[in-house]
Amino acid sequence: MRYKETQEIKYVWLWIGLLVAFLFVFILLMELATTKTIRPETIAIFSSLSVLMTLFFKTMKLTTIIDEFNISYKLFPFHLTFRKIPWMLIERCEVRTYNPMGEYGGWGLKYGRKSGKAINLSGNKGLQLYLKTGKKILIGTQQPERLEQYLKMIGKV
C-alpha cells in the first residue's frame, strides 16, 4: 500500500492574471500593427510566448508517492523523473502548516536560507522532512489529514 497525491496550480488569480496579460499584449500588438510600427513576426513571437507561458503553468504538476521504503516526488516540468528519498536518510518528519511567502518566498521549487528546500504548488500545508544530514525538505500537500493518517499507519510519525 502506498500514498499518492498529484497537485496542480489551482489559483484562479493566476489564470485571471495570465488572461489579462495576454489580452493586454494582444491589444497593444494589434494597435501597433494598425499603425505599422511593429512587424507581424513580432506579433507572432509575443503571442506564442504568451501561449507557451500559459501552457507551462497549466502542465505544472507535483506528484508525491510515499511507501514504506521511500518518499518520491516530481515537480513536472522541472523534474522529468522522480526524486527519491529513502526513509533511512530521514531523521524525522511531520505534517505542518507553513508560511509559503515568509519561509520560502512563494510557491514552486524554492530554497530558503534557514528553512531549506520546498517543493509546493499551492496552499500552506506540507510534509516537513528533517534529513540526517541536517538538510530540510518540505513537500506541499493538499491532503494533510490523509497524509498524516498514512504516515501513522506505516509508523513514520
| pLDDT, tens only, 95-144 | 999 999 999 998 889 987 888 999 999 899 999 999 999 999 999 999 99
Instruction: Give the residues across from 130 on adjacent strands.
Output: 92, 136
Mean pLDDT of the chain: 88
62-87 pLDDT per residue, tens? 999 999 999 999 999 999 999 999 99
Radius of gyration of the chain (CA): 20
0.75 surpassed by pTM: yes
Q: How confident is the model at residue 14 (pLDDT cuts 50, 70, 90)?
A: low
Q: How far apart are CA 104 and CA 117, in angstroms?
A: 8
pLDDT at 13: 67
